[in-house]
Amino acid sequence: MKIRESNSRKIFVIFNYIFLGILALSCILPLINLFAISFSSRAMVDANAVRFWPKDFSTAAYEYILGNRQYYQSFAMTILRVVVGWFVNLSLTILVAYPLSKDDPRIFRCRRLYTWFFLITMCFSGGLIPTYLVVSKVNLVNSFWALILPEAVPMFCVLIMMNFFKGLPKVIEEAALVDGANWFVTMWKVYIPLSKASLATVSLFVIVNHWNAWFDGLIYMNMPEKYPLMTYLQSIVLKFDITKITSEMLMRNPNLLEVTGRGIKGALILLCTLPILLVYPFLQKYFVTGVVMGSVKE
């Protein structure tokens, strides 16, 4: 039996589709606008004539950025921190989550103590200045490791992983122990292979975090050559100076005459965010489960 929809319901459905469509568009249009500006000529940009498609196509902005050594240095720095940070964060997450997930007090008596030890750091912090001073006292200022070590243990990820481990049936652990495996082997050979989804979620969060991080680069690095990509982007966005383009550069590439501050910023923003934007749609199921696991408990 077909149930007839009331007219008001039909109207609601139409409005709903339109409203959500506009909302979704609002999320991409700004990027499209910047994309258009970055590929437009100087005359068009200065006249504010660019909307959502390039006018008087020009690649000057990209030529300037990609001709600049600092872009590659920063890109390399970010790739390095993402890879090393992913490895360090993921390993430490597993190494912390595994023992803390053993809630049987007979197995691990000091568990409560360690849990409090880590949890307190989620609630209370020494603050910006004391943390900066500690980093400088251990000689990590201007070092790559300042981007990795201070936040090496990502507590949110530890919680996700810990809850996941707790949800695994105890029998597999008992079976492994009966077979003579010690805790390391159980963790490595039994728990980790079963946690692939959780590991993927944690990896995703960790990688996105490192890619997007800019503040630590700003305060810990003294030389712009050592800035990770987002810090470099932040420095350009806040103060790009068009007089940086020297006449020597113009002679080598007359296209650079078309460069505008807005074009450069737009191009750099796109270059820096595109990698993540291309990847995240395919990993939706991982971050969705991660968020749910981190907030909702059975």
8-34 burial, b if ≥16 CB within 10 A, otherwise e?
A: eeeeeeeeeeeeeeeeeeeeeeeeeeb
Which among 248, 250, 258, 211 has a CA at the least distance from the CA of 231? 211
Q: Which of residues 118 and 253 has its CB atom nearest to another protein in the complex?
A: 118
Q: Does 175 bind another protein (CB under 8 A)?
A: no
d(CA 100, CA 187) in angstroms, rounded, equals: 12
Binding characters for another protein, 64-83, by CB under 8 A (x = yes)? --------------------
- The residue within the footprint of another protein, chosen from 59, 68, 131, 255 (CB under 8 A), is 131
Least distance to another protein, CB of residue 252, Å: 27
CB 203 within 8 A of CB 88: no
Least distance to another protein, CB of residue 39, Å: 14
Q: Which of residues 86 and 183 has its CB atom nearest to another protein in the complex?
A: 183
Which among 204, 205, 179 has a CA at the least distance from the CA of 190? 179
What are the backbone angles phi and psi of residue 185, rounded to the nearest 5°?
-65, -40
CB 148 within 8 A of CB 83: no
Distance in angstroms between the alpha carbons of the first and the last residue of the chain = 38
Residues 189-218 within binding reach of another protein (CB under 8 A): 208, 211-215
Q: Which of residues 9 and 170 has its CB atom nearest to another protein in the complex?
A: 9
CB 190 within 8 A of CB 172: yes
- The residue within the footprint of another protein, chosen from 48, 69, 171, 180 (CB under 8 A), is 48
Least distance to another protein, CB of residue 14, Å: 12
Q: Which of residues 75 and 118 has its CB atom nearest to another protein in the complex?
A: 118
Which among 268, 263, 275 has a CA at the least distance from the CA of 70? 268
Residues 149-168 within binding reach of another protein (CB under 8 A): 149-153, 159, 162
Residues 263-292 within binding reach of another protein (CB under 8 A): 265-266, 268-269, 272-273, 276-277, 280-281, 284, 287-288, 291-292
- Among 61-69, 71-79, 191-199, 232-240, the segment contacting another protein (CB under 8 A): 232-240
Least distance to another protein, CB of residue 91, Å: 8
d(CA 255, CA 278) in angstroms, rounded, equals: 29
Q: Is 227 helix (H, G, I), strand (E, B) or coil?
A: coil
- Among 73-81, 98-106, 195-203, 251-259, the segment contacting another protein (CB under 8 A): 98-106
Q: Is 246 exposed, middle or buried (0-12, 13-18, 19+ CB in 10 A)?
A: exposed
- The residue within the footprint of another protein, chosen from 81, 230, 258, 259 (CB under 8 A), is 230
